[in-house]
Structure 1
Amino acid sequence: MPLSPAAAVAVSFFLGMLTGGDTAVVEHTFVVSQVKMNRACRDSLVTVVNGQVPGPAIDVTEGDSVVVHVVNKSPHGLTIHWHGVKQRLNCWADGVGMITQCPIQQGSNFTYRFSVVGQEGTLWWHAHVASLRATVHGALIIRPRSGRAGTLYPFPKPHKEIPIFIGEWWEVDLVELDRRMADGSFDDNPINATINGKLGDVYNCSGALEENYVLEVEQGKTYLLRIVNAALFSEFYLKVASHKFTLVAADANYVKPYTTDIISIAPGESVDAVVVADAPPGKYYMVALGMQPPLPDTQIPVSETRGVLQYSYNPSQGKDLPIGAPVMVPEMPDLHDPITSFYFYGNLTSAFPHPRKGHVSTPSSPCGEFDENVILVATMNNVSFKIPTTEPLLEAHYHGNMSNAATLHELPDRPPIVYNFTDQAIIDFGRKVAALESTSRITTTRRFQFNTTVDIVFQSTTLLQRDSNPMHLHGHDFFVIAQGLGNYNAEMDVEKYNLVDPPPSGLFVTDNPGVWFLHCHYGFHATMGMAVAFEVENGKTLDTTLPPPPADFPRCEHPGSSLAYQ
């Protein structure tokens, strides 16, 4: 249905096709409930798994099978998505509300079963209904099955491995937050950022400092930090005073080791970084600073938190650290600085050659003042994705009903009007912007034959808000083979493509049948419609055909209602 007028946080989207040892069963039970937690000097009712934030880590070896029994004792329907797991021939376990399954209703349970094959590194799991992933999330660690030259990893084995979750603390009900974001009427912001669920002593309420996350290290030892950004709103810069990181993996793909004193990490992303405890014994702040789009874009309150990297007592020194010794603080970049992030990602390359060819480009994105009659949406090619309310898309696909659904529309190859997407004069909403939008809110899909190479260009715009857009594709790896600033130019930019060792995260091959969600991983962008569903057809053989759903698959009990919130 057309939105008139519509303020569109837009990503223009161009799409083309090019043809062409012993395992184990790792079993967990996730009890989802609401518990009272005290943060920022007040009690809040929080939806959690097994009473904790972050939730329990799932630790597996490549090739293992995972069984997770989800018992929903919360008042909301929800699903669990295994972020980054390819789910080969197992789209039913992908866990996306109303895309692959109906939500698990209050008082119900469902068991997810899947195998983790051909992947190593750090992934994570999170709720994929409403904004519940802000508190319903945890690590999914995949270890190598066989060693390489005497070590499990393609880098020296660390002394210890530690999951680090950068998140946000909200005092608003997360389901209500999602409703408001879907209506484009929200003005809510998180209280502050967190590290492993703690606000840190940068947050001071009523004179009482919040508790820090503390990482205790030993002099000379090496630590592998498995870092995940679970936030809804912000990309973060992460630094540890007087220490450097050596990046070794991103999104469960090994990268060529890259040493830096700063990490840039957007919502949904994970990186593996090695830190050597080689500084003088003491205490050092680990600071996570939320980035903001450059002025004059609308700003949110500064989101910053810190933990402490603390050296443990060393008997050879004969004494402990001095009491009251100052904690060293890292120098952080400006929170409006996008270039540090741009070059951080530009320095990542795959540790192993990638044989496929194609192209992808990723620049930046849009916010501003708009009157009370304007509906704020996020779009791809001027279309704002609408979540189905009666039947999950995967079930419609499996039963051959996709073409019968009157509400489904094919995502166009490109935006209806090609213009200067990065023109600074169109940041603010007005007649010039409205003429470029022509926005509709519908359920968009794109159908692909099996084993097609798909070539995507993500072109961010200056419409209303210039946030970056961390795009996440379910069920597949895709590879960024180029990025740039400004407008994409097919003829000129082809010279910049890295077709040898692109980093993970664009180009992909439709070798996994099912319905797979592609969306921005900012919570507000996804909820406001920056998404599309990719329908991948079956291949010609049994081992390239999607099997039937599990016998205990959740059913939609409230046809026509807003199932995502039931």
Structure 2
Amino acid sequence: MTALCLLVELVSSKHSGITRDYKFDIRMQNVMRLCQAKSIVTVNDQFPGPTITAREGDRVTVKVVNHVQYNVTIHWHGIRQLRSGWADGPAYITQCPIQTGQSYVYNFTITGQRGTLFWHAHVSWLRVTMYGPIIILPKRGVPYPFPQPYKEFPIIFGEWWKADTEKIINQTLKTGGAPNVSDAYTINGLPGPLYSCSAKDTFKLKVKPGKTYMLRLINAALNDELFFSIANHSLTVVEADAVYVKPFETSTVLITPGQTTNVLLKTEHRHANALYLMAARPYATGPGAFDNSTTAGILEYHLPSPKTKKTTKLPLLKPTLPIFNDTTFAMKFNRKHRSLASSKFPAKVPQKVDRRFFFTVGLGLHPCSNPNKTCQGPNNTMRTASVNNVSFVMPNIALLQAHFCNQSKGVYTTDFPANPPFKFNYTGNPPSNIMASSGTKVVVLPFNTSVELVLQDTSIIGAESHPLHLHGFDFFVLGLGMGNFNPNKDPSSFNLVDPAERNTVGVPSGGWVAIRFLADNPGVWFMHCHLEVHTSCGAQDGLDCDGTGSAASQKLPPPPSESP
């Protein structure tokens, strides 16, 4: 684009903390996994990438320099980006990508948030290796609302592919077929001892008995929800998506791509006579293939060296994880999440609703579009993903830029449907016509609109859990259930007192979830499935929060002058 309207420097919001400056150099690097060297895209020659550490109220600036052949962007997943949408990161939504040899400075202030989030690439499938933790500490002098842990460790899950994921997704978009699956999962970049030729590539966590540790769990996997458990140990969940929750104990954590969960691990003296596997494997509900393997690390107790050295080999104990499609466990686990709803950490659930939406999320078909008309979907069609039967088409001009410059004509339309185009038994037999439409459509929300959104899974090609992520806002999870949502019955059971507050929620396989939020952040914001294969195939849309009011809080500042 020429000139990006009348560009001026972005004026950041006021902040009470300090400024923390980072630099991300994006380069190719050879990494050995599963006895195979592979050239991958890395940040600062690290895999996973560097940790961003800040406190609530701090300003963060990150200069990203692109030294690779791909266009790149970075998304700061879960950061509210209050009036700083230019720093959000999704390609062609809030910015054009950073091209080879270019740089861009992301500048944002962390307002009213503390906990664990993460950053990742947000263009094509590059986030398969480009990700890292964001740790937001409370303001100085402010304690956690749970026992202070002895130590804290980030545990970030990912996927390892022997193949080139950019070639895989490009081929998928050309043919409409199902893409290949990953070759392994990883914990902190390491597959672990359960894969052949990977014993040395194992994450080890050494702990002392009688201590409480906090594990900051992050699911950065490309396409898979994961179960996680530690043999013979229970975990206490204390935070989800950087929001404190009422603590609850569990032996297994379910975490979708895009979600973060902080858990407390209490170590005991009686456990010091063994090694314990920390294992993660997929929760998979869809009709397609998936990587049905298990990644693992080792929890090892560190004891004072005895006077006489022991040569006894410690037994290695394994946890018992749910079966891969255990939807009952998933539903029960997700229902355990409740906000603290205390005077210090209130749950500000909108009690009135200005706009109600009903979005169906699922798979469908498109006519074959490749030149030789050989597609891999049913009857020579292309598989697609959609919301309310609209498969999102990515523009070549950033939506936020078009919105700010009042140049949306030809870039996007504002007629995204508030309801599906026709009613059917969403979780039963599919309708006779399962072809999806396509377009670059957004929902327009006046500033300070309170929104209630019901997300309904469909079984058009097959029922499947969909982790939906909303940029720019946190939302409250009012309720979830199996089958078709009943607007006359189900709202009576909504939790309006202490519902979980999140930025990513799993739409249950063959079920629904209801969320509510206040549209109080001006800009254009992305909502999409965090299974990257579904995002690439169209399970996404935009929310245009109109920022044309006179108050400063309603106005989006102009973009930075160095915008790509």
TM range (shorter): 0.7 to 0.9
Structure 1 equivalent of residue 235 of structure 2:
245
Which one of the candidate residues 342, 347, 367 is aligned to 1:354? 347
Alpha-carbon distance, 1:301 to partner = 3.3
Deviations 1:98-127 (A, max 9, x none): 001010001111111111010010000000
Indicate which of 525, 528, 542 corresponds to 1:516.
525
Query: Is the 8 Å Cα contact of residues 33 and 201 (structure 2) preserved in structure 1?
Result: no
Within-5 A mapping of 1:326-345: 326-345=315-334
User: Matches of 1:372 and 1:230 in 2, distance apart?
Assistant: 34
Could you tell me how far apart the structure 2 residues matched to 1:162 and 1:363 are? 38
Q: Distance in 2 between matches of 1:544 and 1:319?
A: 70
Q: Distance in 2 between matches of 1:291 and 1:249?
A: 21
Aligned to 1:395: 401
Q: Which amino acid letter does the alignment assign opposite residue 516 of structure 2?
A: L
Distance 1:220-1:461 versus aligned 2 partners, 3 A rule: same
Report the equivalent of 1:49.
43
Question: How many angstroms apart in 2 are the aligned matches of 1:443 and 1:48?
Answer: 31
Q: Does 1:288 align with 2:280?
A: yes
Question: 248, 256, 259: which one pairs with 1:269?
Answer: 259
1:167 counterpart = 2:158: yes
Gaps spanning 5+ residues in structure 1: where?
A: 1-20, 427-432, 555-566
The code of the aligned residue for 1:222 comes to T
Evaluate the alpha carbon distance shift between residue 438 and residue 371 of structure 1 in structure 2; reply closer, same or farther with a 3 A threshold. Answer: closer
1:35 match: 29
Structure 1 residues 472 and 456: alpha-carbon distance in aligned structure 2, compared to 1, 3 A threshold:
same
How far is 1:211 from its partner?
1.8
Distance in 2 between the 1:454 and 1:274 partners? Answer: 34
Contact 2:477 2:501 in 1 (8 A): yes
Secondary structure of the 1:122 match is strand
- Of stretches 260-269 and 32-41 in structure 1, the one that deviates more from structure 2 is 32-41
**2:530 corresponds to 1:541:** no
- C-alpha contact (below 8 Å) 1:32/1:71 kept by paired residues: yes
Q: Report the counterpart of residue 512 of structure 2 in structure 1.
A: none
C-alpha separation in 1, matches of 2:347 and 2:45: 42
Residues 209 and 301, structure 2, Cα contact 8 Å, conserved in 1: yes
Q: State the 1:319 CA deviation.
A: 6.2
The aligned residue for residue 198 of structure 1 is 190
Q: Shift of the alpha carbon at 1:172?
A: 2.2
Residue 51 of structure 1, CA deviation: 1.0
CA contact (8 A) 1:360 1:481 kept: no
SS at match of 1:182: helix
Q: CA RMSD in A?
A: 2.2
SS at match of 1:233: coil
Q: How far does residue 250 in structure 1 lie from its aligned partner after superposition?
A: 0.5
Structure 2 CA distance for partners of 1:372 and 1:308, relative to 1, 3 Å: farther
Q: How many angstroms apart in 1 are the aligned matches of 2:364 and 2:232? A: 36
Q: Match for residue 482 of structure 1? A: 479
Structure 1 pair 235–155 and aligned structure 2 pair: CA distance change class (3 A): same
CA distance in 1, matches of 2:246, 2:394: 39
Deviation at 1:407, TM superposition (A): 5.1
Distance 1:420 1:548 in 2: 46
One-letter code of the match for 2:415?
E
Deviations 1:470-519 (A, max 9, x none): 11110111111100011000110011100001102321111110000000
Counterpart in the other structure of 2:313: 324
The structural deviation recorded for 1:90 is 0.7
For residue 417 of structure 2, what is the aligned residue in structure 1?
412
Out of 164-173 and 238-247, give the one that drifted further: 164-173
Q: What corresponds to 1:552 in structure 2?
A: 562
Which whole-Å CA distance do the structure 1 matches of 2:291 and 2:17 have between them?
Answer: 48
SS of residue paired to 2:480: coil
Residues 362 and 539, structure 2, Cα contact 8 Å, conserved in 1: no
* Residues 17-57 of structure 1 deviation map (CA, whole Å, 9 limit, x = unaligned): xxxx9611111110101111111221111001011111000
Within 2, Cα distance between the matches of 1:486 and 1:458? 12
Q: Do the aligned residues in 2 keep the contact of 1:123 with 1:139 (CA within 8 Å)?
A: yes
Task: Report how far residue 188 of structure 1 moved.
Answer: 1.1
Structure with bigger RCO (C-alpha 8 Å, 6+ apart): 1
Distance 2:54 2:530 in 1: 25
| CA distance 1:396–1:327, shift in 2 (3 Å) | same
Q: 1:146-165 residue pairs with structure 2 within 5 A?
A: 146-148=140-142, 152-165=143-156
Normalising by structure 1, report the TM-score.
0.87
- Say whether the 8 Å CA contact 1:360–1:479 is kept in structure 2: no
Aligned equivalents of 2:141 and 2:173: distance in 1?
47
- Tell me, yes or no, if the aligned pair for 2:169 and 2:179 is still in contact at 8 Å: no
Conserved in 1, the CA contact under 8 Å of 2:476 and 2:501? yes
Paired AA for residue 215 in structure 1: L
1:507 maps to which of 493, 505, 516: 516
Report the alpha carbon displacement of residue 367 of structure 1 after superposing the two structures with TM.
Answer: 9.3
Q: Which amino acid aligns with 2:500?
A: P
Deviates more, 1:375-384 or 1:461-470: 461-470
Q: Number of aligned residue pairs: give it.
A: 516
Show the counterpart of 1:219: 209
**Does the Cα contact within 8 Å between 1:165 and 1:195 map onto a contact in 2?**
yes
Shift of 1:414: 1.0
> Counterparts of 2:516 and 2:414 in 1: how far apart (Å)?
23
Between the aligned partners of 1:442 and 1:360, the Cα distance in structure 2 is 19
1:308 matched to 2:298: yes
Q: Give, in whole Å, the separation in 1 of the partners of 2:392 and 2:70.
A: 22
Aligned-partner residue type, residue 408 of structure 1: T
Map of 1:529 onto structure 2? 538
Whole-angstrom distance in 2 between the partners of 1:372 and 1:310? 54
Partners of 1:364 and 1:312 in 2: CA distance? 48
CA distance in 2, matches of 1:192, 1:546: 42
Q: 1:95–1:326: structure 2 CA closer, same or farther, 3 Å change rule?
A: same
State the secondary structure of the residue aligned to 1:38: strand
Residue type of the partner of 1:551? Answer: S
Comparing 332-341 and 281-290, the one that deviates more: 332-341
Q: Structure 1 CA distance, aligned partners of 2:395 and 2:438? A: 12
Secondary structure of 2:325's counterpart equals coil
Q: Distance in 2 between matches of 1:61 and 1:301?
A: 37
Are 2:458 and 1:448 equivalent residues in the alignment? no
| Structure 1 residue 321: Cα displacement | 6.7
CA distance in 2, matches of 1:461, 1:553: 39
